[in-house]
Amino acid sequence: MPKLVFLTPEGERFEIDAPNGTTAMENAVKHDVPGIEAECGGACACATCHVYVDEAWTAKTGEPEPMEEDMLDFAYEPQPNSRLSCQIKMRDDLDGLVLTVPAQQA
Ligand code: FES
C-alpha cells in the first residue's frame, strides 16, 4: 500500500498508509491532518483541501484538470505546485508522496 506523507506548517509529520484508489484528501481527513477541511467532500468545489506537492513529486502527480485549476484560484496563496488533494488518487507509483499543508489554511 502506498505511503502518503503530510507536513504541516507547525512541523508535524503524518505518515499514512493510503490505499490505492483513495484520494489524498480522504486520507488526510481520516487521520485528522490539520488544515484539510474538505468542505465540499471531494467535489472539486471548495479549495479547502489545497496542498503543495513536494517538488520531487510534481511530475508524477501531474497537472491539475481545468476544473481544478479554476478552483485553485480560490485557494490561499496558490503556487505552481498547488493541487487540490481530493483530486490526487493514490496508486503504487505515488508511494512516499509528500504534501504540505499551506500555512494560512491550518
Ligand atoms: Fe473540496 Fe477538494 S474537498 S475541493
Q: Model confidence over 45-63: pLDDT tens digits?
A: 999 999 999 999 999 999 9
Å from CA of 103 to ligand 1 middle: 17
Tell me the average pLDDT of the chain: 96
Q: What is the pLDDT of residue 104?
A: 83
Q: Where are the domains of the chain?
A: 3-100
- pLDDT surpasses 80 at 82: yes
Domain 3-100 CATH class label: alpha beta
Q: How far is CA 43 from CA 40, 71, 106, in A?
A: 6, 11, 21
Q: How confident is the model at residue 22 (pLDDT cuts 50, 70, 90)?
A: very high
49 with 105: CB under 8 angstroms? no
- 55 exposure class (CB count in 10 Å sphere: 0-12, 13-18, 19+): exposed
For the whole model, what pTM was predicted?
0.96
Select from 46, 101, 105 the residue to mutate for testing ligand 1; criterion: most ligand atoms less than 8 Å from CB: 46
Q: What is the pLDDT of residue 105?
A: 80
24 with 85: CB under 8 angstroms? yes
What residues does ligand 1 touch, defined as CB less than 6 Å away? Answer: 25, 38-40, 42-49, 71, 84, 86
User: Span 30-59, mean pLDDT?
Assistant: 97
- pLDDT surpasses 80 at 106: no
